[in-house]
Amino acid sequence: MVKHVDRTFAGRPLKLESGRLAKQAAGACLLQFGETVVLATATVSDNISTLPFFPLTVEYREKAYAAGKIPGGFLKREGRPSDEEILSARVTDRSIRPLFPEGFKNEVQVFIYVLSADQENDADVLGVTAASAALHMSKVPWNGPIAAVRVGRVEGAWILNPTFQQLEFSDWTWSSLAPRIRLSWSRGARSSSRRPRS
């Protein structure tokens, strides 16, 4: 059964869908923000792992086809994940790992694929939200959901999930996770004030 949630967020359509793709996964969420589409899937093993740690794997991939490009020339295939993909996977991992119960040892895999990139909206924060929704729909014991947002400041005005063009003019960018701030990362230009003002 296909389920939809449609909202307007930061002046652009935000759509979450489940039940159409990745039906064999424990949980799957197709998230669309603007024209950027991200698919997150979550699977869990029925067997308890004998490893001395919680075996959580998070994979984030942005293939060239998402932007309508086909690799050519000498390198015709996309190999290992890029540095940006690895960092996006780490942000997702660091965001969701503390929300699993203590002592849970079943292997969990979360895969995030960027299916379409509109060259306006960055998919990394969308991947965190989609992974959270996929885990929340699955049978995995998890203390979520969470959401991620990027905040930029352009000419003194705060903008939620700024586009790539707005980020070029942003003197300060901050990303965070809700409902409580679990992880935040930021970048900024040199400013005369000690802290950003609203």
CATH of the domain at 94: 3.30.230.70
Q: Is residue 146 part of a domain?
A: no
Counted domains in the chain? 1
Is a pLDDT exceeding 80 seen at residue 179? no
40-89 per-position pLDDT tens digit: 999 999 999 999 999 999 999 998 778 777 777 666 667 788 899 999 99
Under 8 Å between Cβ of 28 and 40 = yes
pLDDT band at 192 (very low <50, low <70, confident <90, very high): low
Confidence band, pLDDT 50/70/90 cuts, at residue 38: very high
The whole model's pTM is what?
0.86
49 part of a folded domain: yes
Mean pLDDT of the chain: 86
Look up the domain containing 106 and give its range. 3-141
